[in-house]
Amino acid sequence: MAAIIWRICRWRRLDFIESMNGDPAYRGGLIPDLDRSVGAHSPYTLTNGRHIGALVVFLLLVVGGESWIGVSTLPGEWYAGLSKPSFNPPNWIFGPVWSLLYFAIAVAGWRTWQRDRTGPGMKIWSVQMLANFAWSPVFFAAHRIDLALGVILFLLVSIAAFILISWRQDQVSALLFAPYAAWVGFASALNGAILFLN
């Protein structure tokens, strides 16, 4: 796991950046925020104690926060009694999938924080995280399938916005959100189908 984190955080894009600098379309500061530093001064290295501390905070916030929400809003008998579509996956698959996704979400949030703490990317990351945290209580605790559909669709739009904004500045963070977008798209369809059937 540590090796995976290291590769994600130190992903070198120098060849890509140099090729862009040779393209007239990218001259004149059109890609000023791409990380040209691939050494010790990169904001994504794990050799700096502050960088490591910030990553730990993001992992605790995302993985720990969502784990607490998940335990406090277990599906229970109400969810078991709902009619579900044929493409509804088995319950055991949700835990492993979301665990991997939360890890990716945390790393993307950390990278965005390291790059620009007050920029639009960080703001959208925070908004999508709030929407993510809100969905389980709305669906499983409040039993509001209709409101939950609105929350998850908003979450999907927020994820797409994060990918679009991050792409020019940090493609790693954008790519970390790609599986998340696919899964939330599937979950949105599932939420909508459950609403239709019930």
Q: Do residues 156 and 177 make contact, with C-beta atoms less than 8 angstroms apart?
A: no
| H or E element in which residue 143 lies | none
Q: Which residues of the chain have pLDDT under 50?
A: 6, 9, 11-21, 23-38
The string of pLDDT tens digits covering residues 73-124 is: 788 899 999 999 999 999 889 889 999 999 999 999 999 999 998 999 999 9
pLDDT at position 35 is 44
Sign of CA dihedral 168, 115, 64, 146: negative
| Any domain includes 149 | yes
pLDDT at position 174 is 96
| Any domain includes 9 | no
| Any domain includes 175 | yes
Closest by alpha carbon to 19, among 8, 7, 27? 27
| Any domain includes 96 | yes
Domain count, the chain: 1
Q: Do residues 187 and 152 make contact, with C-beta atoms less than 8 angstroms apart?
A: yes
pLDDT at position 4 is 53
Structural domain including 70 reads: 49-197
| Any domain includes 23 | no
| Any domain includes 19 | no
| Any domain includes 42 | no
pLDDT at position 27 is 42
Q: Specify the pTM.
A: 0.77
| Any domain includes 16 | no
State the virtual CA torsion across 17, 14, 115, 166 in degrees, nearest 10: 50
pLDDT at position 41 is 65
